[in-house]
Amino acid sequence: MRIISGNKKGLPLKAVPGKGTRPTTDKVKESIFNMIGPYFDGGNGLDLYAGSGGLGIEGLSRGLNSVIFVDQDKKAIQTIHDNLTFTKLDGMAEVYRTEADRALKAIIKRELSFDTIFLDPPYAKQTLTRQLEIIDEHSLLTSTGVIVVEHASSVKLPSQSGRLIVQRIEQYGDTTITIWANRSESEGGTL
């Protein structure tokens, strides 16, 4: 694993030890950022199932101002800290060891919103529909922001969740990337 582009291009990243975390491949990561960027002029990110931190770190390398990393696995948290320290991006990050729904509750209390949200939960434990509803209900995504959902291709998500609508879907073998955004006023529909 490595940082593909941006000011930290080429730096290697550690993977989380063991088989409990499925890292996003470099090919899929490059495709994700080509769909949503590929570069950013600032903005804040949330990497909710961060694993090694690869998606959020790639976002920082490509211009995000800050990223909050969340994972409940102790080894993942240590790997994120190691990767942030090695890439010298630790000053642009907050890292929390907690469960995703608890992290969302804390974010709501802090009244934060994000320009880019990465949702890449373990395939066996996906609660994506509920988390999309929470993100929409509490306006955690900025009006021009995007949500990148990486999920098993066998998982079928709705095309809309409140104000959130699917912008694009790409399949890579057993992995599917679904990009969500807020529906603009011109797209009509009911809220």
Residue with tokens 């790639």, as numbered in its chain: 58
Structure tokens given for 4: 């593909």
Q: pLDDT grade, residue 163 (50/70/90)?
A: very high
| pLDDT for the residue 187 | 52
Set out the domains of the chain in order of their start, with CATH numbers: 26-155+164-185 (3.40.50.150)
- If one compares 102 and 26, the residue with the highest pLDDT of the two is 102
pLDDT of residue 190: 41
pLDDT in tens, 102-157: 999 999 999 999 999 999 887 655 688 899 999 999 999 999 999 999 998 888 88
- Least confidently predicted of 1-5, 24-28, 50-54, 130-134: 24-28
Q: What pLDDT score was predicted for residue 191?
A: 36
- pLDDT for the residue 24: 81
For residue 64, pLDDT beyond 90: yes
Residue 19 φ then ψ, to 5°: -110, 10
pLDDT band at 35 (very low <50, low <70, confident <90, very high): very high
Identify the pLDDT of residue 126. Answer: 66
What is the distance between the alpha carbons of residues 71 and 51, in angstroms, rounded to a whole number?
A: 6
Query: What is the mean predicted confidence (pLDDT) over 23-48?
Result: 92
* Residue that has been written with the tokens 């929470």 in this structure: 134
Residues in the chain: 191
> Do 127 and 121 contact (CB within 8 A), yes or no?
yes
* pLDDT value at residue 189: 45
* Mean pLDDT within 171-178: 92
For the cut 80, the answer to whether the pLDDT of residue 20 exceeds it is: no
Residue 122 pLDDT: 78
The whole-number pLDDT of residue 23 equals 76
Work out the average pLDDT over 168-176: 93
Q: Would the pLDDT of 12 be above 50?
A: yes
